Structure 1
Amino acid sequence: MDRKAVVRAMRYIWPGEPHDVDDAELESLYRYPADPRWLAVNFVSSADGAVEIDGRSAGLSNPADRKVYELGSDLADVLLIGAGTATIEDWRGVHPDEETAERRERHGLSPVPPVAIVSTGRSLPPDAPAITEAVTPTIVITSGSAPPATRQAWADAGASVLVAGDETVDLPAAVDELVHRGLGRIDCEGGPRLFGALLAAGVVDELRLTISPLLVSGAAERIALGAGLDPTALRAESVLAEGDTLLVRYLLARKQG
């Protein structure tokens, strides 16, 4: 696949005048702001809101989605993901290609961003490829209720274990610790339960949503799951199109406190 050919077919459609988008402009749109802490969430969904086909998101993705998905991780300090998604999607850490390496060097970023996996301790085995095959040590974010033996097994497998919260994972505290470690540009890549928890915690700054031109129906999950929250207002920041695929960036108001 010619990645540049995908970009030439992409159109900026709102706000302002529609026009073709080149590599430089696309990178500018999806780069992180100067804010020392910015958490962007990436999702692809069908037109009727499904986030998976046969249990995985790959069936919804396409070249346009993969292009912005790659920019999210290429320009981030750390990738944040739920343990269930890491297992289902068979994550194996970040292994950059030449284009990614050049982009990260140009932006003054580390060669390989670490992956931070949120786990209660029940769904992330210590021999998970996301830990054992990662180039940069994976950060496992968990709570004090995770069994000490499990935490030690993660560490023995090469992970850095970050304990945030006592009974459950304290996501604001975890994000604060990532920022303290110099990992303030955070790219969250799912899943729906983690996104729902991040929304409830008020720590999401941006939603990057690809709407795939498919109808799925059935009982597929949607992008955010959890106990529910007051409707959260979104502000559209940009809309692009590539063929029949829409790529929308929304901003959220961060909670204070």
Structure 2
Amino acid sequence: MRRIYPDFQDNPDIEQAYAYPEDRPWLRLNMVSSADGAAWLKGRSGGLSSRGDKRIFGILRGLSDVIVAGAATVRTEGYGPVKPRASWSSLRAGRPEVPPIAVITRSLDLDLDGELFTDATSPTIVITCEAAPAERRKLGAQRSDLVIAGDEGVDMRLAVRELHERGLTRVLCEGGPRINAQLSADDLIDELCLSVSPMLVAGGAARILNGVAAQVPLDLHQVLEEEGVLFCRYTREQSP
């Protein structure tokens, strides 16, 4: 892997390249897309991934305090609990050995008896709303750290605040596109890490944000490259 922006460097320190700011909470969005903007291939993001993307994906998880994903992404991508990695020992010094996964769901349509809930080193967090079925909320409270954030739908600002109150301030969101769009509309995204796969997909795949329109200016912070895949790091444009 090499860095091609802002300056050239062979074999950059990936952990340092993606270090979180030390002085404030930070919400990072990590996504992969095709060159024409598709967020998945044949329904899943894995078809767009690469060896470098998987390596950065793992490091971003190790750096985070919590991993956020929508219920549709959890179901489609077959999410399981995060497993400890020896390579994370320095990244997670003073913190739990793995970050918990926080699932955003309005309906609580989740397999609450699946390994994501029964085999998690750090208990899975479920963020839902008052409109979720009462029986599902009751079961969810038994299987997870259940958070009620909103009435008819999940209030993303309240959800993020609840994570911060648990000391989980380095937030990594892995999508999907609808969750991303809600976070963007609420002006909660501080950073976008985007892996651009060198292929054209077309068809009906969503973009990495799919929902309410929101215009958030970004600054290009860094570009890495490996095997034709670009790894772009954008941060929210700062006001002068």
TM-score scaled by structure 2?
A: 0.94
- Please tell me whether the aligned partners of residues 31 and 71 of structure 1 are also in contact (alpha carbons under 8 angstroms): no
1:207 corresponds to 2:195: no
Q: Percent identity?
A: 41
1:144 pairs with 112, 118, 130, which one? 130
- Please tell me whether the aligned partners of residues 27 and 188 of structure 2 are also in contact (alpha carbons under 8 angstroms): yes
Aligned to 2:29: 41
Is the partner of 1:103 in helix, strand or coil?
Answer: coil
1:220 corresponds to 2:229: no
Written as runs of structure 1 = structure 2, the 5 A alignment for 1:173-188 is 173-188=158-173
1:246 pairs with 213, 225, 230, which one? 230
- Please tell me whether the aligned partners of residues 209 and 249 of structure 1 are also in contact (alpha carbons under 8 angstroms): yes
- Please tell me whether the aligned partners of residues 84 and 123 of structure 1 are also in contact (alpha carbons under 8 angstroms): no
Cα root mean square deviation, aligned: 1.6
Quote the Cα distance in structure 2 between the aligned partners of 1:137 and 1:208. 26
User: Which whole-Å deviations, capped at 9, do the CAs of 1:210-241 have from their partners, x for residues lacking one?
Assistant: 00111111111110011222x22111000111
Quote the Cα distance in structure 2 between the aligned partners of 1:116 and 1:122. 12
User: Which whole-Å deviations, capped at 9, do the CAs of 1:124-165 have from their partners, x for residues lacking one?
Assistant: 2322432233221111001111122111111222x0101111
Q: Residue type matched to 1:234 in 2? A: L
Quote the Cα distance in structure 1 between the aligned partners of 2:134 and 2:220. 44
> Structure 1 residue 168: deviation in Å?
1.2
Q: Residue type matched to 1:36 in 2? A: R
Aligned to 2:182: 197
Quote the Cα distance in structure 1 between the aligned partners of 2:28 and 2:167. 16
Residues 178 and 122 from structure 1, CA distance in 2 versus in 1: closer, same or farther, beyond 3 angstroms?
closer
Quote the Cα distance in structure 2 between the aligned partners of 1:207 and 1:130. 26
Q: Residue type matched to 1:245 in 2? A: V
Aligned to 2:141: 155
User: Which whole-Å deviations, capped at 9, do the CAs of 1:153-197 have from their partners, x for residues lacking one?
Assistant: 11222x010111111111111111111110000010111110000
Quote the Cα distance in structure 1 between the aligned partners of 2:211 and 2:81. 26
User: Which consecutive residues of structure 2, in runs of 5 or more, have no partner in the other structure?
Assistant: none
> Structure 1 residue 47: deviation in Å?
0.6
2:68 pairs with 70, 80, 83, which one? 80
User: Which whole-Å deviations, capped at 9, do the CAs of 1:23-44 have from their partners, x for residues lacking one?
Assistant: xx21111111113310000001
1:232 corresponds to 2:216: yes
Written as runs of structure 1 = structure 2, the 5 A alignment for 1:13-24 is 13-16=4-7, 18-22=8-12
Quote the Cα distance in structure 1 between the aligned partners of 2:79 and 2:89. 19
Q: Residue type matched to 2:17 in 1? A: L
User: Which consecutive residues of structure 1, in runs of 5 or more, have no partner in the other structure?
Assistant: 1-9
> Structure 1 residue 109: deviation in Å?
2.4
Is the partner of 1:144 in helix, strand or coil?
Answer: coil
Aligned length: 239
2:42 pairs with 46, 54, 60, which one? 54
TM-score scaled by structure 1?
A: 0.88
Q: Residue type matched to 2:15 in 1? A: E
